[in-house]
Amino acid sequence: MKTLLPLLFATSTFAADLVQHAQEHPQGDAAYSFDVSALKKDTRDLPIGVFDSGIGGLTVLEAILTIDAFHNETLQPGADGKPDFANERFQYFGDQANMPYGNYSSAGRTDYLRELIVKDAIFLLGRRWFDPDKKTFRQDKPPVKALVIACNTATAYGIDDIRAALKTWEVPVFVVGVVEAGARGVQSAHKEGAVGVLATVGTCASGAYPRVIGQTLGLAGRSVPTITQQGSANLAGVIEGDPAFKESVTERCDMDVRALVEAHQKSGVASPLSTVVLGCTHFPLVQSEIDHAFAALRKDAALEKLIAPKIAYVNPAEWTARELFRELAAAKIQAKDAPTAKDSFYLSIPNPQRADIPLTADGGLEKEFKYSRSPGELNREDSVNVPMTSARIPSTTRKLIETKLPEVWRRLGK
């Protein structure tokens, strides 16, 4: 996908302070910096970094861990009975303290969001993490050799910034993002009719999916279908079982699918929605509820003609896994042997060393504070990144991982 135009912003000046700050600390001896020399050696045995705004990206990690779409020795397409990444180990990071990313655009804070996303990449590239037991920062985490942006919103707003930053830092690390991969999924799945995108409000506001789907189909010599988007502010939270939301998953899916179909109706295009991109990390977990919602709307005479008899769903996670395999092979940095060390998982929490940060009753960053911050204040660490333990994952989310993401659950070791 290297031939595509930048995903969001042609000339990026955002996160510039952060990029420069990391450049000024090439030994990784300050917050938001990393040891550049560690990535200029043989990186084959380093882990692959995967990040998301929270735990949703574990759906992408599950797809990566379980996919068998290639022959591992010959690199040819086709299953060989072995997981494609059997020799690789992974390092996952969820920016739980600062999520949801999908709501920064409506708060007018996409500039801060873009800085957060570059910080996520810097964390994975570096060695620094916070040990909450010893209450101190440590510098012994392995850096990663490649980056997967598992979050749709983070890909939409941050992939160009990360690529530009890696270039500035002269670090040979590649980045794969779910939006570009999802567009490949559309190229493969879409036959005729219109395309629908269900995502966060932020992803839809960025226009990344319509733009990249258009570029991908255009470069393949295909005509570009009508693309209708529907941003949901609540569905990801409802799926996680967040008690702040009162509706059930079924009710929320019904509302969002209806809103998508009605938006498509308003566009005045007669062709039915036939391909739907599940453009948020959480949505593939509720594909059957979404499909039921479409089925119910087919019974509505006013909307029936706007929905194809069978919808093709695109799960960007699967396509991201394929993209990662290809990029690793192209960069010739596949691990040589089965890993000796385990995967590792981290998430962010409000900085316990800062007494001045407003917190909610359950210890999260207070919403108003979260969405009022500006970029460039690099002497302040509002959150720190700690190992992901069972106790740090809300119980409803834990259940979701255990039941729906068994390979991740096994590797989490909880």
Binding site for ligand DGL (CB under 6 A): 52-54, 56, 99-102, 151-153, 200, 203, 236, 280-281
Residue 377, SS3 per DSSP: coil
- Taking the complex as a whole, the smallest distance from the CB of residue 201 to ligand DGL amounts, in Å, to 8
Q: Which is nearer to ligand DGL, 15 or 280 (CB)?
A: 280
Cβ neighbours of 376 (radius 10 Å): 13
Please give the single-letter amino acid code of residue 256: D
- Taking the complex as a whole, the smallest distance from the CB of residue 237 to ligand DGL amounts, in Å, to 8
- Taking the complex as a whole, the smallest distance from the CB of residue 223 to ligand DGL amounts, in Å, to 28
Q: Which is nearer to ligand DGL, 151 or 164 (CB)?
A: 151
Q: Which is nearer to ligand DGL, 83 or 364 (CB)?
A: 364
Q: Which is nearer to ligand DGL, 203 or 228 (CB)?
A: 203
Q: Which is nearer to ligand DGL, 46 or 113 (CB)?
A: 113
For residue 331 the two structure tokens come to 């960069």
Q: Measure the N-to-C terminal CA separation of the chain; round to a whole number of Å.
A: 37
Q: Which is nearer to ligand DGL, 100 or 272 (CB)?
A: 100
Residues in the chain: 414
- Taking the complex as a whole, the smallest distance from the CB of residue 53 to ligand DGL amounts, in Å, to 3
Which residue do the tokens 């996409």 mark? 110
Residue nearest to ligand DGL (CB): 102
Q: Which is nearer to ligand DGL, 200 or 216 (CB)?
A: 200
Q: In what order do the strands lie in the sheet with 194-200?
A: 227-232, 194-200, 273-279, 307-314
- Taking the complex as a whole, the smallest distance from the CB of residue 67 to ligand DGL amounts, in Å, to 19
- Taking the complex as a whole, the smallest distance from the CB of residue 314 to ligand DGL amounts, in Å, to 14
Long-range pairs for 356-364 at CB < 8 Å and ≥24 separation? 357/382, 364/97
Nearest to 56 by CA among 393, 414, 413, 411: 393
- Taking the complex as a whole, the smallest distance from the CB of residue 152 to ligand DGL amounts, in Å, to 4
Give residues with Cβ within 8 angstroms of 277, minimum separation 6.
182, 185, 186, 195, 196, 197, 198, 199, 209, 213, 313, 314, 316
Query: Which class for 352: exposed (0-12), middle (13-18), buried (19 or more C-beta within 10 A)?
Result: middle
For residue 57 the two structure tokens come to 């990206």
**Rounded distance, CA 45 to CA 328, Å?**
12
Nearest to 205 by CA among 328, 110, 124, 105: 105
Give the torsion through C-alpha atoms of 390, 395, 399, 402, to 10 deg.
0
- Taking the complex as a whole, the smallest distance from the CB of residue 369 to ligand DGL amounts, in Å, to 17
Q: Which is nearer to ligand DGL, 47 or 102 (CB)?
A: 102
- Taking the complex as a whole, the smallest distance from the CB of residue 119 to ligand DGL amounts, in Å, to 15
Q: Which is nearer to ligand DGL, 152 or 348 (CB)?
A: 152
